[in-house]
Amino acid sequence: MKASVLFSGGKDSSLSAILLEPFFEVELITFSFSLLPVEQFVSNLADELRFPYRILNLDISILDKALEMAVEDGYPKNAINYIHYNAVKTLASTKSHSKDVIADGTRRNDRVPVLADSQIQSLEDRYGIYYVTPLRGYGRGAVNALVRQHLDIEQGISDNIIKADYETELREKIRKAYGDEKISQIFPSHIQSHIKKRIK
Amino acid sequence: MKASVLFSGGKDSSLSAILLEPFFEVELITFSFSLLPVEQFVSNLADELRFPYRILNLDISILDKALEMAVEDGYPKNAINYIHYNAVKTLASTKSHSKDVIADGTRRNDRVPVLADSQIQSLEDRYGIYYVTPLRGYGRGAVNALVRQHLDIEQGISDNIIKADYETELREKIRKAYGDEKISQIFPSHIQSHIKKRIK
């Protein structure tokens, strides 16, 4: 059975792919609005992780709508969830085979991005896919312990780490429309991890 | 890292052990109140699944309290959750090493037995263990697809299937105290699966 793992380049989506590897034919899927060049970053990291990958485009109207949401809310949670839901839906609707798995890196206590139970049920019923979150039953401590066994990572604040996630492109879009100050109002600085190597 | 998987002999706990196998040193743990002989059943099935196992006793006062709850409620949900929480707590408090994993077979839409977020946090903080539910991010369809790949099972109604779960002993306890009629009032008949073979 195939499993397409939504891949941001972070440790949670990378570890999710590793947990699925013994049981599924795993492919990494990165969605991009083509605002930033992610090809080289994703390509290098996918090679390091030893998974095939594809970069798919998301309709720019989704990012426009997310920008509106983030500016109106003053925080990015709903905007990022909106992009994520549309990414899963886009992938589900373009699957060539039903009964394949679409997975992402959601952990036990994650709030963003996370799909609601009703969204999951609707996607599974409508498109005949299985939505799977391998880390959903793992808390932060267990995830970190597994990451230490499988990945060599370094950490930094979110501004300085290259990523291929929705937040990076949403920040870029807001920067272009409203300038740097708006970014720091909407997005809290948080620690991000950068994967250097797959250990095993 | 070790992972102790609470094992009822059903497909969910068996599949959970299989999903953890590539990443942890897995041991199956069956809790029993010694009301019914589970040793032979667990021993045969653990051999078939190729995992080491241990049978541990739970204090009979826990079953007494659960019987009270089930009779008062008229349904078994709270009683079974109460036993399950005490089983995880008992195992967590007797772990020789902290930072080990305690796992069970909870699926995405399970309601019984399932620990509340606050119970999980409390167990992890107090005993220094990681509580992990490998199937928590899998819905029914994905679980069934994985079961078909890994296990040869047959299904039957719950009365006729040998199990090593809390429900079986709770039923036996209620049967002894109140007779057969009370059982059918409290417990709905439901389809249970019996594992015949591990396929891969």
Which pLDDT score, from 0 to 100, does residue B197 have? 95
Which pLDDT score, from 0 to 100, does residue B157 have? 67
3-state SS record for chain A? CEEEEECCCCHHHHHHHHHHCCCCEEEEEEEECCCCCCHHHHHHHHHHHCCCEEEEECCHHHHHHHHHHHHHHCCCHHHHHHHHHHHHHHHHHHCCCCCCEEECCCCCCCCCCCCCHHHHHHHHHHHCCEEECCCCCCCHHHHHHHHHHHEEEEEEEHHHCCCCCHHHHHHHHHHHHHCHHHHHHHCCCCEEEEEEEECC
pLDDT above 60: residue B158? no
A160: pLDDT confidence band, cut at 50, 70 and 90? low
pLDDT above 90: residue B94? no
Task: Identify the residue among A13, A26, A132 best suited for mutation to test binding to B, counting B beta carbons within 10 A and taking the highest.
Answer: A132
Q: In this structure, are residues A58 and A85 in contact, taking their beta carbons and an 8 Å threshold?
A: no
Highest mean pLDDT out of A71-85, B99-113, B164-178 = A71-85
HSE (side-chain half, CA atoms, 13 Å) at A102: 27
Q: How far apart are CA A16 and CA B137, in angstroms?
A: 11
3-state SS record for B105-137? CCCCCCCCCCCCHHHHHHHHHHHCCEEECCCCC
A192: pLDDT confidence band, cut at 50, 70 and 90? confident
Q: Do B124 and A139 touch (CB under 8 A)?
A: yes
Calculate helix-pair angle for A11-20, A140-150, nearest 10 degrees: 70
Dihedral over alpha carbons A119, A120, A124, A129 (to 10 degrees): 130
Distances (CA, A) of B102 to A183, B17, B99, B119: 41, 11, 10, 14
Calculate helix-pair angle for B117-127, B77-94, nearest 10 degrees: 20
Distance from CA of B134 to the nearest CA of A (A): 5
Closest C-alpha to B63, from B171, B181, B184: B171
Tokens 């902290």: give the residue.
Answer: B98
Which pLDDT score, from 0 to 100, does residue B148 have? 96
Q: B101: which chain A residues are within 8 Å (Cβ-Cβ)?
A: 142
- Beta bridge mates, A191: A157
3-state SS record for A60-104? HHHHHHHHHHHHHHCCCHHHHHHHHHHHHHHHHHHCCCCCCEEEC
pLDDT above 60: residue A158? no
Q: Which residues contact B96 (CB under 8 A, 6 or more apart)?
A: none
Of chain B, the percentage scoring pLDDT greater than 70 comes to 95
Q: Do A23 and B19 touch (CB under 8 A)?
A: yes
Q: How far apart are CA B177 and CA B164, in angstroms?
A: 20
Q: Do B137 and A133 touch (CB under 8 A)?
A: yes
B190: pLDDT confidence band, cut at 50, 70 and 90? confident
B141 touching chain A per CB within 8 A: yes
ipTM of this complex prediction, to 2 decimal places = 0.93
Q: In this structure, are residues A136 and A117 in contact, taking their beta carbons and an 8 Å threshold?
A: no
Which pLDDT score, from 0 to 100, does residue A182 have? 93
pLDDT above 60: residue A17? yes
Rounded to two decimals, the pTM is: 0.94
A95: pLDDT confidence band, cut at 50, 70 and 90? low
Which pLDDT score, from 0 to 100, does residue A112 have? 86
Cβ neighbours around A90 below 10 Å, total:
16
Q: Which of B109, B130, B141 sits opposite A139 (nearest CB)?
A: B130
pLDDT above 80: residue A157? no
Closest C-alpha to A9, from A45, A47, A35, A39: A45
